[in-house]
Amino acid sequence: MSRTRSTSPISRTVSRRSLLAGAGAAGAGLGLAACGGGSGGDGGTPESDPDHKDLVMTVWGGEADKIAYQARVDLAKEKFPDYTITLQLIPSENYEQKVQTMISSKTGPDIMQVAENVNVYSSKQQLVPLDDYISAAGLDMAATFGPVGENYRWDGKTYGIPDRSGAMVLYYNKDLFDAAGIEYPTADWDWDTFLDAAKALTDPAKGQFGYGGVGWWPQWFSLVAQNGGAVLDPETGAPSVNSPEAVEALQWAQDLYFTHKVAPTAVDYSNMGPEMGADGAFQQGLVAMNSTGFWAVGGNAGIEGLNWDIAPFFHGKEKAVSAFGSALVIPTAAKNPQASFEIIQFLTSAEGQTPIADLGQDVPANLELQGSDAFLDPEWLEADANLEAFPESADMIFTPKFIPEWNEMQKSVDDAMASFWLGESDAKTTADDLQSRLERVIKPSE
């Protein structure tokens, strides 16, 4: 998950992704139509051609991402002088279509960045299973990456090495807390303490809300998980969004808007200004708390006079919080997967990830680096923010099953919940409706 991918559906803002995707649509169609079907591998470890030394790595993002990835690739080149590694940065909004075209026309990259869409590729035999390489290299996934190490498994095989992984955290405006006379949030907050604070921080007269809202999937998926439910079954990926636990969590989420009125609805946001969402409203002091990813650290630090900090996300009956991350994978079309893996292994080591921390690009997935001063007390950040919140949240990260129908699931969620977040339908009706829509698009793996 990069920052440009994170547009909240509740405040359906115009994302750069959708702007450019439109422009790219026609081109993608032509490119694909011109090339035939790609061939599927047999799922085993393919042969490596040791003479193939020119490797291409595709990643998405903006200028800051380009700098960070290039710095890491430069480190890798020093480590592996025999290889030339070419970094291809593709704008986020075109990434999926672009790599789809590359893979279909058999000009796929040797190393590729993926996120929630990983199993679009792995389920269609387009990725090299890494388990043999991992055991040969003696890489301990659980110790190196924590629970996130399991994220990129599909059908009993591991397809990706986690590269970036930051939990969603709670940003809070210290000045607004001080003015309301409330203690700052801690990891001990539960739904009740959170709600009390949100109520106290809401002041309709000033147009000020206690909380930015939970309409975006990483937010309310977390609440469902905290209540002991699951939108997607962790084993099979089958939808279970109308379980009593999930419905209760959804009702609590909706009440934040319409019963307690502590969070701005989509209507409130669109009245605040164009492109306005929780991140922007937090920076303007219109919401006192906001749960989002690491990218807001840099954004908030750039706002003059904003006195803010971060804490781990609150918990319910259980601890659970979404994370935003990505992994590196090897497409089956790669000619020298052995070399690809060696480079990936380096790039995901503490040494290879250091530029992520030094440049403030994101949270490195490598736990050793996440807990080191390079990440926790970086030079790029003047503000005294408690980055400790990220490693502190690492062991409560829950990850929804990355189903191959991920994009269709997102569309169903947006469609079914549009009226819910406007207060026009209740939790049970919405959950039943969403459940039937999801059952239509998701084919459970087992």
Residues of this chain that interact with other proteins (CB under 8 A) are 12, 14, 18-19, 21-22, 25, 28-30, 32-34, 36-40, 96-97, 100, 103-104, 120-121, 124-126, 266-267, 270-275, 405, 407-408, 411, 414-416, 418-419, 422, 437, 440
Minimum Å gap between C-beta 361 and other proteins is 26
Q: In terms of CB distance, is 69 or 152 closer to other proteins?
A: 152
Instruction: Give dist(CA 182, CA 240) in Å, integer.
Output: 37
For residues 116 and 401, what is the distance between their CA atoms, to the nearest angstrom? 9
Give the relative orientation of helices 427-441 and 406-417 as an angle to the nearest 10 degrees. 150
Decide: residue 445, CB within 10 A, 0-12 exposed, 13-18 middle, 19+ buried.
Answer: middle
Which structure tokens are listed for 376?
A: 């926790």
Query: How far, CA to CA in Å, does 60 sit from each of 48, 57, 72?
Result: 26, 10, 15
Amino acid at 93: E
- Judged by CB, which is closer to other proteins: 119, or 340? 119
Q: How far is the CB of 421 from other proteins (least distance, A)?
A: 9
Least spacing, CB of residue 439 vs other proteins, in Å: 12
Which candidate, 356, 219, 358, places its Cα nearest to that of 279? Answer: 219
- Our CB check for other proteins shows the closer of 19 and 136 to be 19
Look at residue 308 and give its three-state secondary structure.
strand
Of the two residues 40 and 244, which places its CB atom closer to other proteins in the complex? 40
Residue number, 64 or 422, with CB nearest to other proteins: 422
As a whole number of Å, the end-to-end CA separation of the chain is 27
Q: Shortest gap between Cβ of 269 and other proteins (angstroms)?
A: 9
* Angstrom distance (rounded) from CA 433 to CA 436: 5
Task: Name the minimum Å distance from CB 177 to other proteins.
Answer: 28
What's the closest the beta carbon of residue 266 comes to other proteins, in angstroms? 6
Taking the least distance from each CB to other proteins, the nearer of 46 and 166 is 46
Nearest distance in Å: CB 166, other proteins? 25
Helices assigned H by DSSP within 348-399? 350-358, 367-370, 373-376, 389-393
C-beta of 396 vs 403, nearer to other proteins: 403
How far does CA 428 lie from the centroid of its chain? 27
The CB-of-103 to other proteins minimum distance in angstroms stands at 6
Question: Could you give the residue ranges of the DSSP H alpha helices within 11-137?
Answer: 16-34, 63-79, 92-104, 118-122, 131-137
User: Which C-beta is closer to other proteins: that of 392 or that of 432?
Assistant: 432
415 contacts: CB under 8 Å, gap ≥ 6: 437
